[in-house]
Amino acid sequence: MDSGYGDGLQGECLRKPDQTQPKLYGVGDPTATFSSDSSCLSSRGRVIKWFWDSAEEGYRTYHMDEYDEDKNPSGIINLGTSENKLCFDLLSWRLTQGDMLHVEPSLLQYPDWRGHLFLREEVAKFLSFYCKSPAPLKPENVVVLNGCASLFSALA
C-alpha cells in the first residue's frame, strides 16, 4: 500500500514539482547529485543528504587511495577522522592482560551522563599533570563523552 510520505516505496510525493532548491554558493550544485529517491525530501533534507553523500564519497575515495609513506606517498591523507594511532601498541598490550577478562556489571549500564567517576578521576589527574594546570582539576568538573558527536549533542 502506498503511504504517500516519500518513503521510497514508489509512492507519490506530496511536494510540488515546481519547487526549486536553495542556491548554495561555494559548495557546488547539490541538485546535480541528488538521486531519484530523494525527490520527496524537503529542500533542507536534500541539502543535508547532498552533504552526507559527498562525505561518504570522500571517505570511499580515501580508502581506495590511502597515503603510505613507502607504498603510496602521493595518496590521500584523511584529516576528517581523529585516530590516535600512537597508543595502539599500549592499548593492544593492555587488552591482552588477564584482568581485562573481568567486566563489572556497572560498566554495562548507563553511568552518570558525565562518565564513570573512576574514569573522570583519571582524566582529571592526567590533564592536571600533562597540561600543567595551576590547581588540580576536580573530577566533578570533568565530562567524558565518546566522541565529538556526543559532545555536540550534549552541548546542544
**Residue 143 within any structural domain of the chain:** yes
* CB 46 within 8 Å of CB 31: yes
Q: Is the dihedral of CA 11, 15, 18, 24 positive or negative?
A: negative
**Residue 144 within any structural domain of the chain:** yes
**Residue 46 within any structural domain of the chain:** yes
**Residue 68 within any structural domain of the chain:** yes
**Residue 53 within any structural domain of the chain:** yes
* 3-state secondary structure (DSSP) of residue 68: strand
**Residue 94 within any structural domain of the chain:** no
User: In the chain, how many domains are there?
Assistant: 2
Domain that holds residue 141: 114-155
DSSP 87: G
pTM beyond 0.85: the answer is no
**Residue 137 within any structural domain of the chain:** yes
Q: pLDDT tier at 41 (50, 70, 90 boundaries)?
A: confident
Q: pLDDT per residue over 86-135, tens digit each?
A: 788 888 898 898 888 887 777 777 767 888 899 999 999 999 999 999 99
**Residue 108 within any structural domain of the chain:** no
